[in-house]
Structure 1
Amino acid sequence: MAPPIFFPPRKAASMIVLGWREWLALPDLGVARVRAKVDSGARTSALHVDEQWRFVERGAPWVGFRFTPGRTRRVAIEASAPVLDEREVTDSGGHCNHRVFLRTHLRLAGQEREIEINLTDRRGMLFPMLLGRSAMDGAFMVDPARSFLHGRPPSTLEPRP
């Protein structure tokens, strides 16, 4: 059994505590709010997409996609972004598949930071977004006994600070 990991008091004091599920925004993609499962066991973050397509913009590969961030309001959002990378990802069930990665801004708990996410079909999952540990690194800690600690963001995007 691995020894527990302790953060130095100064480092832990500067980190924001998240619950095991939180509301977040992805302003670059036009997502004002989406429910996310906070999963320190997952290395990368994943966003559910209903459909995705490729195209070239100014000689660079881009991906366009459509997704529905809510469970009750079935309003689809269309977005596009430059392709950062393409990699094989193994899901929690041990299945390996090829995914497109992109870089985007995350807005959570009053903080904004750039993160890497991959696009996948999470249709059977309870949360359209999975927030992995690489997106939380150095800024957030998780309290698995709590949830939605930072409230629900507004339904419209506010300009970047």
Structure 2
Amino acid sequence: MKEDTKDKLSLEKKVIGRRELVSFPELNIDEIEAKVDTGAFTSAIHCSDIHEETKPDGTKVICLDLLDPSHPQYNHKKLEFEEYDLREIKSSIGEKQERYVIKTKIRFFDEVLEGEFSLSDRSDMKYPVLIGRKLLKGRFIVDVSRKNVARKFNNRQKKK
């Protein structure tokens, strides 16, 4: 690849670190720590009490608690989603698991993007949110030597 083409591609994509503080505007979660994981295809968000219910009108919904009571940003709100999928997702240890997947908005830098997130119990994981390749592709370059790049960018923007 020509040098000028490489430079152009890098300019179009934002650099992020191995860890970032992200927000979920539709879920009322601000600045939650996320692990950027280029080894994972699908992004994931920590939820508890994940179950499917049928409403009186016959509509199926997925119900959940975002995070869990032990997490500092737990807001005690039960969430419902009418639009969701049930997919086979490979876990971090390579096991296939059926997981519910929702679409929601996520904020990086000053951009709000829509992404797919599998719902899983990540209580045994260090980070409640995992950002996978599908969300990163074509938008970001990951610099594993850095962290919280988006937050530092936002702080600089506020000072201007």
Q: TM-score, normalised by structure 1?
A: 0.80
Q: What is the SS of the residue equivalent to 1:150?
A: helix
Q: What is the SS of the residue equivalent to 1:93?
A: coil
Q: Deviations over 1:52-111 (max 9, x none)?
A: 122346754321211337976263343222333111111121222110011111111111
Structure-2 separation of matches of 1:140 and 1:46 = 18
- Give the counterpart letter for 2:138 in structure 1: G
CA shift for structure 1 position 10: 1.6
Counterpart of 2:97 in structure 1 is 97
Counterpart of 1:23 in structure 2 is 21
User: What is the alpha-carbon root mean square deviation over aligned residues?
Assistant: 2.4
Seen in structure 2, the aligned counterparts of structure 1 residues 28 and 83 have a Cα distance that, compared at 3 Å, is same
Structure-1 separation of matches of 2:69 and 2:54 = 29
* Identity percentage of aligned residues: 27
Higher helix proportion, which one?
2
Unaligned residue ranges in structure 2 (runs of 5+): 155-160
Computing the radius of gyration over CA atoms, which structure comes out larger, 1 or 2? 2
Equivalent residue for 2:11, pick from 6, 13, 27: 13
What number of residue pairs does the alignment pair up?
147
Q: What is the SS of the residue equivalent to 1:124?
A: coil
Counterpart of 1:82 in structure 2 is 82
Q: What is the SS of the residue equivalent to 1:125?
A: coil
Q: How does 1:104-119 map to 2 (within 5 A)?
A: 104-119=104-119
Counterpart of 1:44 in structure 2 is 42
Q: What is the SS of the residue equivalent to 2:41?
A: coil
Q: How does 1:127-138 map to 2 (within 5 A)?
A: 127-138=127-138
Seen in structure 2, the aligned counterparts of structure 1 residues 90 and 113 have a Cα distance that, compared at 3 Å, is same
Note if contact 1:22-1:35 (Cα within 8 Å) is conserved in structure 2: yes
Q: Deviations over 1:16-65 (max 9, x none)?
A: 11100000011112222211000111100001112112234675432121
Q: TM-score, normalised by structure 2?
A: 0.81
